[in-house]
Amino acid sequence: MPERQQRAADLLRHAGVLPVITVNTLDEARALADALLEGGLSTLELTLRTPIAIDALAMLKRERPGIVIGAGTVLDANNIRASIDAGADFLVTPGTPPGLADALAAADIPVVPGAATPTEFMSLRERGFRNCKLFPASAVGGLAMLKGLAGPLHDMRFCPTGGISEANAAEFLSQPNVLCIGGSWMLDKAWIEAGDYARVRETAARAAAIVREARAQR
């Protein structure tokens, strides 16, 4: 577990911003991944919210080996097995009940379990997790929650996701206990429906620049 937790910390820190994508076709998956990569974001979370998700994950791992892909919205052991079989580099959950936490602890790839309260994070910490997703971040206090967690859970690091935008990304990244932020602001639904992947690429490039500036200021 410690080695996998270190790998999880390293990949989140390297990513800085984790685009959270949901795809409906393989072509859409290719186009979005390419736009994000061209914009400078080489790590993404592909949610398991559509029937095509696992196929898209496997396809991207075959065709775009330079992209690090996490399977998101992992809800149960079946999702874990399917994601690992498809080649996922890591796993992300929106929340982590005890049974799922046990299954994640047994997984042989890095995992980022999600939670929303101090009690949940303490339960994950008891199982050896030190790098977690705060979700839905803004709804449960956002920056104030992260600052509040920093004292009692001083050895834990977070990837807040939910309600983060280009406007507040830098402020979240400035928090010492934040490894990475998750978001979908660079994946506007209207742009995708219009096939305007240039807008995705441009917004991804600005997100990558925010990460670079935040790191320079730390």
Q: Give me the pLDDT at residue 56, please.
A: 98
Q: What is the pTM of this model?
A: 0.96
Distance CA 165, CA 159 (A): 14
Distance CA 97, CA 76 (A): 10
147 is catalytic: no
Those residues whose C-beta lies under 8 Å from the C-beta of residue 101, and which sit 6 or more positions away, are: 113, 123, 124, 127, 129
Which of these is catalytic: 28, 120, 133, 171? 133
**Residue 175 has what DSSP assignment?**
S
User: CA-CA distances (angstroms) from residue 1 to 6, 101, 119, 130?
Assistant: 9, 12, 21, 10
The secondary structure of 22-38, three-state, reads CCCCHHHHHHHHHHHHH
Q: Give me the pLDDT at residue 173, please.
A: 97
Distance CA 195, CA 203 (A): 15
Q: CB burial class (10 A; 0-12, 13-18, 19+) of residue 168?
A: middle
CB 42 within 8 A of CB 68: yes
189 is catalytic: no
Q: Give me the pLDDT at residue 1, please.
A: 80
Distance of CA 87 to the CA centre of its chain: 16
The neighbour count for residue 129, using CB atoms within 10 Å, is 23
Q: Which amino acid is at 87?
A: G
Evaluate the CA torsion angle 58, 64, 70, 72 in order and state its sign: negative
Q: Give me the pLDDT at residue 26, please.
A: 98
Which of these is catalytic: 3, 28, 38, 45? 45
Per-residue pLDDT of the chain (218 residues; tens, 9 = 90+): 889 999 999 999 999 999 999 999 999 999 999 999 999 999 999 999 999 999 999 999 999 999 999 999 999 999 999 999 999 999 999 999 999 999 999 999 999 999 999 999 999 999 999 999 999 999 999 999 999 999 999 999 999 999 999 999 999 999 999 999 999 999 999 999 999 999 999 999 999 999 999 888 87
Those residues whose C-beta lies under 8 Å from the C-beta of residue 4, and which sit 6 or more positions away, are: 107, 108, 109, 110, 111
Q: Give me the pLDDT at residue 168, please.
A: 97
202: closest CA among 181, 179, 185? 185
Q: Which amino acid is at 99?
A: G
Joined tokens for residue 21: 């994508």
Delineate the domains of the chain, giving CATH numbers in brackets. Answer: 2-210 (3.20.20.70)
